[in-house]
Amino acid sequence: MLNFFSGGESHGKALVGILEGFPKGVKISLEFINRELQRRQAGFGRGKRMAIEKDEVEVLSGLRAGVTLGSPIAFLVRNKDAYIEPFLKDNLPPLAIPRPAHADLLGALKYQEKDIRNILERASARETAIRVVAGSFCKQLLSEFKIEVLSHIVGLGKIILPKGAVSLAEIRRKTKDSLLNCIDKEKEREMVEEIKKAQNKGDTLGGIVEIVCEGLPFGLGSFMSWRERLDARLSYALMSIPAVKGVETGLGFDYARLRGSQAHDEIFYSKNRGFYYKTNNSGGIAGGISTSQPIVIRIAMKPIATLKEPLSSVDLITHRKKKAPSIRSDVTAVVACGVIAEAMTAFIIAQALLEKFPSDTLSSLKKAYGFYLKTLKG
Amino acid sequence: MLNFFSGGESHGKALVGILEGFPKGVKISLEFINRELQRRQAGFGRGKRMAIEKDEVEVLSGLRAGVTLGSPIAFLVRNKDAYIEPFLKDNLPPLAIPRPAHADLLGALKYQEKDIRNILERASARETAIRVVAGSFCKQLLSEFKIEVLSHIVGLGKIILPKGAVSLAEIRRKTKDSLLNCIDKEKEREMVEEIKKAQNKGDTLGGIVEIVCEGLPFGLGSFMSWRERLDARLSYALMSIPAVKGVETGLGFDYARLRGSQAHDEIFYSKNRGFYYKTNNSGGIAGGISTSQPIVIRIAMKPIATLKEPLSSVDLITHRKKKAPSIRSDVTAVVACGVIAEAMTAFIIAQALLEKFPSDTLSSLKKAYGFYLKTLKG
Amino acid sequence: MLNFFSGGESHGKALVGILEGFPKGVKISLEFINRELQRRQAGFGRGKRMAIEKDEVEVLSGLRAGVTLGSPIAFLVRNKDAYIEPFLKDNLPPLAIPRPAHADLLGALKYQEKDIRNILERASARETAIRVVAGSFCKQLLSEFKIEVLSHIVGLGKIILPKGAVSLAEIRRKTKDSLLNCIDKEKEREMVEEIKKAQNKGDTLGGIVEIVCEGLPFGLGSFMSWRERLDARLSYALMSIPAVKGVETGLGFDYARLRGSQAHDEIFYSKNRGFYYKTNNSGGIAGGISTSQPIVIRIAMKPIATLKEPLSSVDLITHRKKKAPSIRSDVTAVVACGVIAEAMTAFIIAQALLEKFPSDTLSSLKKAYGFYLKTLKG
Amino acid sequence: MLNFFSGGESHGKALVGILEGFPKGVKISLEFINRELQRRQAGFGRGKRMAIEKDEVEVLSGLRAGVTLGSPIAFLVRNKDAYIEPFLKDNLPPLAIPRPAHADLLGALKYQEKDIRNILERASARETAIRVVAGSFCKQLLSEFKIEVLSHIVGLGKIILPKGAVSLAEIRRKTKDSLLNCIDKEKEREMVEEIKKAQNKGDTLGGIVEIVCEGLPFGLGSFMSWRERLDARLSYALMSIPAVKGVETGLGFDYARLRGSQAHDEIFYSKNRGFYYKTNNSGGIAGGISTSQPIVIRIAMKPIATLKEPLSSVDLITHRKKKAPSIRSDVTAVVACGVIAEAMTAFIIAQALLEKFPSDTLSSLKKAYGFYLKTLKG
């Protein structure tokens, strides 16, 4: 089964990933992966660390001359700002003040730890660089089947775009020179204003990202067991992104307000298209299975947890009231969150694709996929 | 690892479940399980099938004299309305018209099937009876640690309650004679009106359920890998419930609109309580770990897919336009959805508990748990 | 992924199994399953329990009119000799004397248990009836691809057959009226004598079973990770059978004595057959992958643990020296062990087949399989 | 759950491993790991590659100042003889002649590959360096509980030691200056002669390794499902080592020849020791659970597959008969096989330990372990 595993501390030597179960024979662009890593570091509102780290992947196994071998793909993303040594003593002072809304306190209690550094180094969202690399491999596999995933920002602070279908072509075109990966120039200007205002107050912002995936066939995912449902698996993968607090597919929470007659996508047929829908309220998934419509998911990100004007906390050792430390100074990272969400979406879709079709080699996968597409016209 | 597996068609002989990894020595009440099954069938707005089926569990293994043995717990819920025979031919006419918003069409295409009955029998939400049984075992385990899960309805159609913290005691008290498991009598009356109106039009409704879990300690779940995060796992389990289209924890999507200074829960300490929070915007989980605050999750359910006044569809064989069949006539099942959501939540919490502590026997689990609680005061 | 799960105590109401991930569209013979169950109960040297239990499967889900639906297949095997009640008190006296070579003492210590009955009910080999049912489904799937698994007895007590290649046709023909599933009439007579002698002494015997599987293509299993190697997985499944203490493939332990030049199977090619081997020292697996030669595995079974003339033990409570109880009186169960081994082998081979090829439906599986076979000729 | 994953080609840039689920707070010696890596490369009868590669681990995450953080431990072992580039074209000529007894042909057919280099790079046993590193972490965890694993050579070619119990102290003492990790000097001399003779003929040898693990408590592993049985899991892990063709625990295949009265370990009790055995025919595991006796397992290794005097094969492209290439020139690698087997054993034992006890931190693990040991005395 397609899967990936990761290790790495935020200021350790490197982040490390292993992507297992990837088929043989897929041509991989190194530039594409590095571009994805850079997209993760971009977006208006990011702070200093992003200037220090220009992430680049170093692939160590699983490819030869740019083509996958079918073997596990192992890779590194080195930390330029690295000071945690596996075997040497550093002289870093222990961190004793947990930052609210982080894992700091929770990890310290769970692991009976007095130096919060030993918690936050792994709990840090820096880990998501590995997800972006894994996802960028999956995107390149999916592109062989003309399946593509993109995200765009539909909310930042209180500036929120109205819901509405957007195609990938539209997203690509309209976000071209966007500071915030937003398809609406006017709203983007307001978002930038919001960020500046928050920055001035030493405050932070969250937002809402929409992920769109086009090109899926009918039939990925399954209702045979709860674990196999495609929306459940996407929800798992997306809610696992640090700071994500909500996930909805299609109409999502708005579904609750509508009657069945208003909400459900009716079924149509034409000789050319086979079965199809005219609406996509379901967001491309029903009964845990892809409907061949675009997958549309929205996720909510909470504001960055570390504030320049810090919140109230307590010293782990002395139990005295203290201001939380202010380690980094991003105001918002919603654009990055979108890139990570694309990666996790691509990973889950690729996994579902490789479950339904033979996965040893790209050529056998393509053969079976092509044959399946023919059966769909029925 | 605690896990459960299920089989069973909606009109087959029985639904079957196996719950693996449950500790030895837990006293189990059969009455409690059957009461949970009945709660799944209740709620204003349900149709005829609920009158036919009075679900009861039949436990076949894993217990002796009401106490768990540590071995897999196997159980049945028999279907009273059973006509699918594993080895005998029935003379049921094939179903050819897929119902919109169901798995009907998608399953038929995925499995190259012409009789939709072979799809809908497993895709049916009847499968969730097994989840409720598995969850009711988990609830009884959790109650040994004073961890409790309940749900209540916070939205039905366009009637939506304002957000606000509610304790389990409050939920228990205020929903006592409720038709719709709602803590607000006035809103409930409006919800009942909505249901009657929809019923008159042959239409259906969805809603929003809030799940609350009290009594968790600090430290369940983990950020060490994305798979272990408690919110991600809850999201996976909840989004896998048929018709659920959105999940949010704590402030959820509202988080996006707030600044960090408004949104994040500050940390406090007192000798009696140890570390604590005064607010619970996080919904009891941060960094993928339980915060010892109540877990608060809201899920959105889409309207029942089958309408009495049916939607437009297409015959699978002839490809002619047809009205979808109207097999069952629930107007809404949001109350049931809440019971299933409680079960899935209890399952995930119990799983996380048994990961952190030794799980062979209840007594060793209690010992290690008690010792851990002491370390938390620090 | 194809998998099965089981529950059930030896004298509980029933053994229960769920087989997940089985493709849609496979025609299943109920008679075949029951015949396999009866084969598990046969063999010269069995005792009274086998006369009491005439195992029959009851399928509860996953099939309609004898054809699989692609959904989980749930099934029961009821215990006729049933007295462990899940919720009622039995008045069975506690068992305090652990039988050597059983899990009795180990389970009692692990689970801090004073009544050994609570251990041995699940530790009992009766659980393997479920494996035989699961395996008999897998055998029927494999037979669609002309892949077949059989076992025969090559050792019983000190009577041991010389190693040598045997075809399935030969096994089928020569074991037809065999009391001990043995291809050598003369040796079988000696084995029967051994059993009678042991019986007279109140003693027990073990033996050696050879499992042969014909019809596999090149390429099942993988070396990409240690978990995927076909021989490792077979070894896992076979060593998990109660009383099995050794597993070897092909020449097995004899490999150690030979030089490479004597031991390794050379590679040949002909237009008709494609690549082939003239020898099969590897037992059909090399590099963790099937070689298209018959898979040949031998397993060693220790003597039945419960003796009529019992061994020395200790009372769990009083710690006094006691004779072990003599609950059942099989002299040997090597024939049954072979049937269980066939089942586990069929399960692992079917799992590997469904990993390499698409598994939703038998028809898509056959299509992809047929195409793959063509590529093998090169 | 404790688990490890690996990537890496034999002549790629590096082998990469990630060890997940390792508890926090374990002190790790880098020297120990590197010594284990060197043990993997030693043993009389190894060839040139072993002289080129002096393996050293580079740990990238999961430790700080020599102590584990509870986070995934990622590490590399670089290949000094590295010429496979992930993104650059090498000008290596394709390999077309599959070596018998390797994965060469099987992988080429499975993956529809014409250049065998793309198969053998991952199928190579060089991958086992990662297992040794993962195992050396597990050994250091186990040593905190005085659980220790060692191997010794009991057979090489036709020179085979008689079976008999050996303690770890004995193994350590008697193999101190051994060329072949053998406890019998006289037999070792004969083994060395065998190796020299085989070398002169351009031939290769296999052998038999015995793995001994002391210090386990009662109760690791479980009979609750077949997947949890400790012997089955060890068998899985050991049979997955390249070239291993047989596994037996305790008396193993000799069990088949004995009567129950001769074979089974009787149970004793004394105030000091609690329950104990005087014999260890079971090899430390019964009913899938550890008996607190030493675990004793023997594995059979086939002769090295690549011969200097090569075997007959066929060109993949032309289908012409050819001599197999002679890439490397080890005569035997049984000593290395033992080191790898120790690693896999330590991994499985550590996994079982962390399943039974709480695994977040070494201190909570020790506390629960200590308490459990007390309950065992009854």
pLDDT one-digit tens code per residue, D197-208: 999 999 999 999
**Which residues does chain B have within 8 Å of residue D357's beta carbon, measured at their own beta carbons?**
358
Least confident interval from A49-53, A114-118, A148-152, C353-357: A49-53
Q: Say how far apart CA D224 and CA C5 lie, in whole Å.
A: 11
Please report the pLDDT score of residue B309 as a whole number. 85
- CB of A328 within 8 A of CB of A10? no
Cβ distance A372 to C364 less than 8 Å, yes or no, reads yes
Cβ distance D302 to C256 less than 8 Å, yes or no, reads yes
Q: Say how far apart CA B98 and CA A269 lie, in whole Å.
A: 12
**Which residues does chain A have within 8 Å of residue B254's beta carbon, measured at their own beta carbons?**
300
Task: Examine the pLDDT at B61 and tell me if it is beyond 80.
Answer: yes
Cβ distance B109 to A251 less than 8 Å, yes or no, reads no
The tokens for D165 are 């119990």
Task: Examine the pLDDT at B210 and tell me if it is beyond 90.
Answer: yes
Closest of D291, D272, D282 to residue D378, by C-alpha: D272
Beta-carbon pairs below 8 A across chains B and D: 39
Average pLDDT, chain A: 95
Token pair 């005295």 is at which residue? A320
The fraction of chain B above a pLDDT of 70, given in percent, is 98
The tokens for D116 are 């065998």
* Fold topology of D3-375: Chorismate synthase, AroC fold (3.60.150)
Contacts (Cβ under 8 Å, ≥6 apart) of A169: none
Q: Say how far apart CA D92 and CA D94 lie, in whole Å.
A: 6
Edge-to-edge strands of the sheet including A24-27? A24-27, A67-69, A63-64
Task: Examine the pLDDT at B266 and tell me if it is beyond 70.
Answer: yes
Task: Examine the pLDDT at A261 and tell me if it is beyond 80.
Answer: yes
Token pair 């050794």 is at which residue? C246
Question: Least CA distance to D357: which residue of chain B?
Answer: B358
Mutation target among A158, A236, A296 for the B interface, most CBs of B within 10 A: A236
Nearest by CB to residue B251, choosing from A155, A245, A291, is: A245
**Which residues does chain A have within 8 Å of residue B356's beta carbon, measured at their own beta carbons?**
110
Cβ distance D112 to A363 less than 8 Å, yes or no, reads yes
The fraction of chain B above a pLDDT of 90, given in percent, is 92
Q: Where are the alpha helices (DSSP H) in chain D?
A: 30-41, 49-52, 104-110, 117-123, 128-143, 168-174, 185-200, 230-239, 260-263, 334-356, 362-376
- Burial code (b: 16+ CB inside 10 Å, e: under 16) for C271-286 equals eeebbbbeebbbbbbb
**Which residues does chain C have within 8 Å of residue D252's beta carbon, measured at their own beta carbons?**
245-246, 300
**Which residues does chain C have within 8 Å of residue D240's beta carbon, measured at their own beta carbons?**
226-227, 229, 231-232, 288
Beta-carbon pairs below 8 A across chains A and D: 153
Question: Least CA distance to D61: which residue of chain B?
Answer: B224
Cβ distance A13 to D60 less than 8 Å, yes or no, reads yes
Task: Examine the pLDDT at A370 and tell me if it is beyond 90.
Answer: yes
Cβ distance C74 to B30 less than 8 Å, yes or no, reads no
Cβ distance B356 to D358 less than 8 Å, yes or no, reads yes
Cβ distance B112 to C65 less than 8 Å, yes or no, reads no
Cβ distance D30 to A87 less than 8 Å, yes or no, reads yes
**Cβ count within 10 A of residue C80:** 11
What would the pLDDT profile of C127-149 be if each residue is shown by its tens digit? 999 999 999 999 999 999 999 99
- CB of C362 within 8 A of CB of C13? no
Neighbour subunits, D (≥3 Cβ pairs < 8 A): A, B, C
Task: Examine the pLDDT at B232 and tell me if it is beyond 70.
Answer: yes
The fraction of chain A above a pLDDT of 70, given in percent, is 98
Instruction: Answer whether 0.95 is exceeded by the pTM.
Output: yes
β-bridge partners, B212: B150, B296
Nearest by CB to residue C72, choosing from A224, A356, A371, is: A224
Nearest by CB to residue B357, choosing from D225, D358, D371, is: D358
What would the pLDDT profile of B298-338 be if each residue is shown by its tens digit? 999 999 998 888 899 999 999 999 999 876 679 999 999 99
Cβ distance C61 to B7 less than 8 Å, yes or no, reads yes
Average pLDDT, chain C: 95
- CB of A276 within 8 A of CB of A270? yes
**Which residues does chain C have within 8 Å of residue A360's beta carbon, measured at their own beta carbons?**
219, 356
Cβ distance B5 to C5 less than 8 Å, yes or no, reads yes
Cβ distance C5 to B7 less than 8 Å, yes or no, reads no
Question: Least CA distance to A72: which residue of chain C?
Answer: C224
Cβ distance A360 to D73 less than 8 Å, yes or no, reads no
Nearest by CB to residue D5, choosing from A18, A65, A122, is: A18
Nearest by CB to residue A218, choosing from B109, B219, B324, is: B109
Task: Examine the pLDDT at C193 and tell me if it is beyond 80.
Answer: yes
Nearest by CB to residue C259, choosing from D205, D257, D259, is: D205
What would the pLDDT profile of C21-67 be if each residue is shown by its tens digit? 999 999 999 999 999 999 999 888 887 656 666 899 999 999 999 99
Q: How far is C114 from chain D (nearest CA, A)?
A: 10
Token pair 């502590």 is at which residue? B357
Beta-carbon pairs below 8 A across chains B and C: 155
Closest of B45, A333, D245 to residue C229, by C-alpha: D245
The tokens for D80 are 């000094």
**Which residues does chain A have within 8 Å of residue C4's beta carbon, measured at their own beta carbons?**
none
Please report the pLDDT score of residue A327 as a whole number. 66
Q: How far is A3 from chain D (nearest CA, A)?
A: 10
Q: How confident is the model at residue C327 (pLDDT cuts 50, 70, 90)?
A: low
- CB of A341 within 8 A of CB of A151? yes
For residue C117, the surrounding DSSP H or E stretch is helix C117-123
Rg of chain A, C-alpha, whole Å = 22
Please report the pLDDT score of residue A340 as a whole number. 98
Secondary structure (H, E, C), chain A: CCEEEEECCCCCCEEEEEEECCCEEEECCHHHHHHHHHHHHCCCCCCCHHHHCCCCEEECCCEECCEEECCCEEEEEECCCCCCCCCCCCCCCCCCCCCCCCCHHHHHHHCCCCCCHHHHHHHCHHHHHHHHHHHHHHHHHHHCCCCEEEEEEEEECCEECCCCCCCHHHHHHHCCCCCCCCCCHHHHHHHHHHHHHHHHCCCCECEEEEEEEECCCECCCCCCCHHHCHHHHHHHHHHCCCCEEEEEECCHHHHHHCEHHHHCCCEEEECCCEEEECCCCCCCEECCEEECCCEEEEEEECCCCCCCCCCEEECCCCCCEEECCCCCCCCCCHHHHHHHHHHHHHHHHHHHHHHHCCCCEHHHHHHHHHHHHHHHCC
Contacts (Cβ under 8 Å, ≥6 apart) of B315: B96, B97, B321, B322
* Residue A68 CA from chain centroid, whole number: 23
Cβ distance A63 to D86 less than 8 Å, yes or no, reads yes
Q: Which amino acid makes up residue A229?
A: R
| Residues in chain B, overall count | 378
Phi, psi dihedral angles at B78 (to 5 degrees): -75, 145
**Which residues does chain B have within 8 Å of residue A263's beta carbon, measured at their own beta carbons?**
101, 206, 302-303
Low-confidence ranges of chain D (pLDDT < 70): 48-53, 327-328, 378
Q: How far is A369 from chain B (nearest CA, A)?
A: 12
Neighbour subunits, C (≥3 Cβ pairs < 8 A): A, B, D
The tokens for C13 are 């109401």
For residue B276, the surrounding DSSP H or E stretch is strand B274-277
Neighbour subunits, B (≥3 Cβ pairs < 8 A): A, C, D
Does C280 or C330 have the greater pLDDT score? C280
Beta-carbon pairs below 8 A across chains A and C: 39
Cβ distance C63 to B87 less than 8 Å, yes or no, reads yes
Give the orientation angle of helix B30-41 with respect to helix B334-356, to 10 degrees. Answer: 140
- Burial code (b: 16+ CB inside 10 Å, e: under 16) for B229-261 equals bbbbbbbbbbbbbbbbbbbbbbbbbbbbbbbbb
Cβ distance A371 to C367 less than 8 Å, yes or no, reads yes
For residue B35, the surrounding DSSP H or E stretch is helix B30-41
